[in-house]
A = this chain, B = another copy of it.
């Protein structure tokens, strides 16, 4: 189709890595067809990248060495405590059933949750409402799935979330089973806070239309603080965090929220998913 265009080799290799990050694995035949180059060229590209240790060669293609080593859609920040976010995401998936209509907010934690969700079987036939551009693009990248995505619209923020009156109005006209939100900080006993008051308002709008609210947040958020409160503890059904949370905060939080889930810590078994690919 686009045979007349040739990409620079580094562009190809970059795209391969990009695919690897979103899909975890790539096939040589598929890449060859998609990029309009011969399979041999793809092999050579993959060999180069393997020499640099950026991926792992397997029969028929390549898999990523460390799944989430580099995250294209987010800054370096998301590389920290990635194991924690993975663990949290894995637990959160249990709260989704096939056919559900869910909402997913902005931020890296919610994004990692979306990644795990879409790789699992629970994503079958679900509908996702989101104000996060990365989440929307993620679903688009995995076109095979039976997932519908609705984007809220609104003004775009530095963190690639959509906020403002347009977003709030769109959200208000819809309804979802469960909303999954990240948070910038947790304040005991006040609740959950965001640095941006517009984002806080959009999160509130999402909670208003949801039967159930689930907060996804790693334990470091307990020690930071922010400007705008978007949810009190009694408005939240479940808080999912990791077991790095100190016992004192854990007990205090458990008294305030209906359910507190502690996902098991820093794990390196992220390669499980890749082995099957």
Contacts and interface: CB of A to CB of B under 8 A. Distances in A.
A159 B151 CA distance: 14
Interface in A234-276: 268
Contact of A10 (B14, B58, B166, B169): B58
* Interface of chain A, main secondary structure: mixed
Contacts of A7: 25, 76, 79
A81 to B, nearest CB: 8
B153 A140 contact: no
A133 B268 CA distance: 33
Contact of A15 (B68, B74, B136, B139): B74
A137 B160 contact: yes
B153 A151 contact: yes
A75 to B, nearest CB: 9
Interface string A130-151: 0001001101100100001111
Contacts of A79: 2, 5, 7
A67 B15 CA distance: 11
Interface string A10-25: 1100110010000011
Contacts of A60: 6, 8-9
Contacts of A166: 150, 153, 170, 173
Contacts of A24: 11, 14
21 contacts: A2-B76, A2-B79, A4-B268, A5-B80, A7-B79, A8-B60, A10-B58, A14-B24, A15-B76, A18-B72, A72-B72, A72-B73, A133-B137, A136-B156, A139-B156, A148-B155, A149-B155, A150-B166, A153-B162, A153-B167, A153-B170
Interface of A: 1-2, 4-11, 14-15, 18, 24-25, 27, 34-36, 58-61, 63, 67-68, 70-74, 76-77, 79-80, 82, 133, 136-137, 139-140, 143, 148-156, 158, 160, 162, 164, 166-167, 169-170, 173, 268
